[in-house]
Amino acid sequence: MSGFKFKYENIIQIKERMEESAKGRLAGAQRELDIEKNKLNSLVDEKNNCIGVINNRVKEGTNVTFLQQYNSYMNSLSTNIEKKEKDIQVCKSRVNEKREELVRAVKEKKIMEKFKEKEREKFIEWEKKQEILLVDELVTYKNFKSN
């Protein structure tokens, strides 16, 4: 008997490529999110540094111009931090979207693989029936020939 050949094997291969592509897009979105988080952490660290510098300068005594410049810089950092937090939210939603795409691709591939397995089981059952028919024919032929 010939081996099992699934007529939709190429569709499974396409589904596998779609899954791999979705994994790549998810990884890219996750990298982008990590980069944005690192940038936010840098901004927060810089702001905390500035607060420390201002506190030290105030204790030592400083001029108003210095405080105004640092205050302006701190406001700029605060604005950048807020913007970066919004960027992170956008990246998180993009990661979630890519994760959902991956889940869909995995489900579609599993559906095709289950279908393939059912077809394989049907084929095996058909082969068993063919084998039984062949044995019956041989027995019948042998009995016919011996009579």
Number of domains in the chain: 1
Residues in CB range of 23: below 8 A, 6 or more apart: 102
Whether 122 maps to a domain, the answer reads: no
Is 115 within a domain?
Answer: no
Does residue 64 fall inside a structural domain?
yes
With bands split at pLDDT 50, 70 and 90, how would you rate the model's confidence at 62?
Answer: confident
Of the CA atoms within 13 Å of residue 96, those in its CB half-sphere come to: 6
The reply to whether 138 falls in a domain is no
Burial class (CB in 10 A: 0-12, 13-18, 19+), 10: exposed
> Residue 118: inside a domain, yes or no?
no
The whole-number average pLDDT for the span 70-93 is 95
At 84, is the pLDDT very low, low, confident or very high (cuts 50, 70, 90)?
Answer: very high
Q: Is residue 62 part of a domain?
A: yes
* Domain of residue 28, residue span: 9-108
Is 1 within a domain?
no
User: What digits encode the pLDDT tens for the residues 8-25?
Assistant: 999 999 999 999 999 999
> Does 13 reside within a domain?
yes
pTM tops 0.95: no
How confident is the model at residue 65, as a pLDDT? 87
Q: Tell whether the model's pLDDT for residue 128 goes beyond 90.
A: yes
The two tokens of residue 132 are 């039984």
63-78 confidence digits (pLDDT tens): 888 888 988 999 999 9
